[in-house]
Chain A
Amino acid sequence: KAGVTQTPRYLIKTRGQQVTLSCSPISGHRSVSWYQQTPGQGLQFLFEYFSETQRNKGNFPGRFSGRQFSNSRSEMNVSTLELGDSALYLCASSLTGQGSDEQYFGPGTRLTVT
């Protein structure tokens, strides 16, 4: 079974631009969560989607948004990029996102904002 895939793997953008990252979950997984990972803050939860609906949300500004499609693939968008948005963005999928349901992480997208 193929793992979680994320595209692109690396991205360089300038301040003020916007960016869209994509995540394809493991086949059959309906829950997709997004995280931002930085050396200073660690792994921080952005949001979770299940059946095309945002089910949980972290404490990030409205510049960060996402969506999920009917095939469970998900995208996240960051508008008006800031230098502080430079980070590794990880996507994780799970069957239902409930209880003991473990999350499988993708390799991440390394975003650099200059």
Chain B
Amino acid sequence: GQNIDQPTEMTATEGAIVQINCTYQTSGFNGLFWYQQHAGEAPTFLSYNVLDGLEEKGRFSSFLSRSKGYSYLLLKELQMKDSASYLCAVRKRHGSSNTGKLIFGQGTTLQVKP
């Protein structure tokens, strides 16, 4: 089967750094995505990792360790607008193709306080 775990809620202070962890167990791993979803809005893409290591994109970075089934999203210089739900999603390979469905974790609700 497949399982994706994320903390349910986190709180951090404006200007600080926060790390949101995601662990997964799935066969046919074909990449991991992070999405941001503000309340009442659609999810928006943040990052993609398929190889081990760190991908940096501005204030956001994402790390992947395939052997450990582990990823994290790092948010630096937190701003109030970063208060949102952060969704970890694993692409599960369909057969031998490069396609596959996205399996989402429950999401981590981040609250940034002044």
Contact = CB atoms under 8 A, between A and B. Distances in A.
Contact of B44 (A33, A55, A56, A105): A105
B67 interface: no
A48 interface: yes
Per DSSP, chain B at the interface is strand
Question: Among A57, A98, A108, which residue has the most Cβ atoms of chain B within 10 A?
Answer: A98
B104 A107 contact: no
Interface residues of A, number: 27
B70 interface: no
Contacts of B64: none
A64 B50 CA distance: 31
Given A56-B94, A107-B42, A108-B42, A102 B104 contact: no
Interface of A: 4, 33, 35, 41-45, 48, 50, 55-58, 90, 96-100, 102-108
